[in-house]
Structure 1
Amino acid sequence: MKIRFLILPIALIAQAAGAAQIVTVSKFQYGKQWAFQQEELQLLCRADQSLFALNMSTLMQYPLNDKAKSEMLSGQVKAVPVETILLDDPAKPGQKMSIAPFAARARQLCNQPG
């Protein structure tokens, strides 16, 4: 029974994402490059090449490229600015960690067969 309640939100997200490709990434994998407050996120590339980070515990998504940010700002997708979950960069006081490695990984998904 519990599994049904877990599968349903995931299925709805997958359906809403269309032909999106998804991969799970974690703080353990990225070490000091990890940029997010969460220990684990899903990265996804939608059919239109918009890139998002997805927090499965809250079902909130965060744009990782200009296309995704534009969709968020226009109301095409429900998302929150990625800056709200970024960690401070200890090497650069006053700046946030870079999302570049995560956007690059999500972009790789765009080139994978569905």
Structure 2
Amino acid sequence: MLLEIMQSKAIEKGLLKRGDEIDLERAFQLVRDIPYTRASSREPEIIIEEWRGTCSGKHYLLKALFAELGYVSRLIACTAVETIDPKKTFGKLRTLLKQSDGRFVDVHNYLILELPEGG
């Protein structure tokens, strides 16, 4: 179902031609090239509809597309604590960083894709 929605949207955007199939590589490329901008939801259907998403939403979409293609993948989230000098920022960010001594937690997502033997 998502593959059909993705294919339709990609054709509408001129990224695929009618009759082009979405395989593993093409699914990755299409999701990779969706603009990195916050969507109204992280739901895969919304990411496709709005053609935008952040790390989490794009990874949820890619995982769902891989599943429809018959591949198993695991979504992994990891965190890193970063430090930024509040004096080098402005506005609300500066205020927030001052409250935390410049420390913030950054969350990243990635997928582990299980390929068949020799894949």
- Return the structure number with greater helix share: 2
Q: TM-score, normalised by structure 1?
A: 0.26
Higher Cα Rg, which structure = 2
